[in-house]
Amino acid sequence: MSIEKYTRNFLKEVEERVEEGHWVKMCMQCGVCAGSCPLGAHWEHTPQKIFMMIRAGKREEVLSSDSMWMCTSCYQCIVRCPRKLPITHIMHGLAYLAKREGLAPKNQPTAQFGQLFWDNLIKTGRVNELKLSLGMYFKDGFSQGIKNAMAMQSVGMGMMKAKRLNPMEIMGGHGVKDKSGFQAMLKKARELEDGRRKLA
């Protein structure tokens, strides 16, 4: 998509299409979030930088950034932001827009996990922990999957003992009573959200 350089168009787009996006213009670039984020030092773009890039109209760069996907929702930034920007929410909102616009970075582990989790959940209305874990282990191929599973073995055993993981779930697993009702509800919610956020 072509987008004019240095216009406010992207800021407007973020305001309309991103959860809590209307807050971005309130950022005063003080740097507290960037300096407070426990992970920011390892990212290409801190929240402060992302917000400035939005205002500078750098749509492609923002939406293809890895940073939003790295946010752990620790809320350190929100707690300290002098302007009370809901930074965490904006970061996740941006990630969602990036995903829907097809600009999210390829093979981003958090994005992959998010997709697996979603696909897993909507099938029965309940998360199938076993399939989710296996899906995650084997996402990079069979032999890597075996290695991952071996490495995580003790965690898996512990979860089974604590009844957090049921080996029988491999057969299909538990679900909600009204599966089709559940799926219809999600579909409707998505329709509403897509309409509101102008997502195709």
Partner 1 sequence: MTEVVATNQTILVVGGGISGMTAALEAAECGKEVVLIEKNPALGGRVSQLYRYFPKLCHPTCGLEINQRRVKQNKRIRVLTMAEVTSITGSPGDYTASVKIAPRFVNENCTACGDCGDAAETMVDDAFNYNLGKVKAAFLPSRMAYPQRYVVDPSVIGTPEADKIKAACKYDAVDLAMQEETVQVKAGAVVWATGWKPYDANKIQPYGYDRFANVITSVEFERLSDPHGPTGGKILRPSDGKEARNVAFIQCAGSRDENHLRHCSRICCMASLKQTNYMREAFGDEGKSTIYYIDIRAIDRFEDFYQKVQADPNVKFIKSKVARILEDKDGNPVLHGVDTEGYHRYATPHDLVVLAVGMEPSVSAANIPAEIVSDSSGFIEQDQANGAIFGAGCAANPLDVNRSVQSATASALRAIQVINRVARAEG
Binding mask 78-117 toward partner 1 (x if CB under 8 A, else -) reads -xxxxxx---------------------------------
The 8 Å CB, 24+ separation contacts for 105-111 are: 105/64, 105/65, 105/66, 105/69, 108/66, 108/69, 110/69, 110/70, 111/69
In the structure encoding, which two tokens stand for residue 163, read together?
């009844």
> Which residue, 81 or 97, is less far from ligand SF4 as judged by CB?
81
Q: Which does 41 bind (CB under 5 to 8 A by kind): ligand SF4, partner 1, none?
A: partner 1
Local structure of 72: helix, strand or coil: coil
Beta-carbon count within 10 A of 113 CB: 15
Q: Which does 49 bind (CB under 5 to 8 A by kind): ligand SF4, partner 1, none?
A: partner 1
> Which residue, 81 or 111, is less far from partner 1 as judged by CB?
81
Selection from 88, 96, 25 nearest residue 54 by Cα: 25
Distance between CA atoms of 73 and 39, rounded to whole angstroms?
Answer: 11
> Which residue, 42 or 106, is less far from partner 1 as judged by CB?
42
Count of residues of this chain found to bind partner 1 when the rule CB under 8 A is applied: 19
User: Interface residues with ligand SF4 (CB under 6 A)?
Assistant: 27-33, 36-37, 39-40, 47-48, 51, 71-77, 81-83, 85, 87-88, 91
**Which residues lie near partner 1 (CB under 8 A)?**
28-32, 34-36, 40-41, 46, 48-49, 79-84
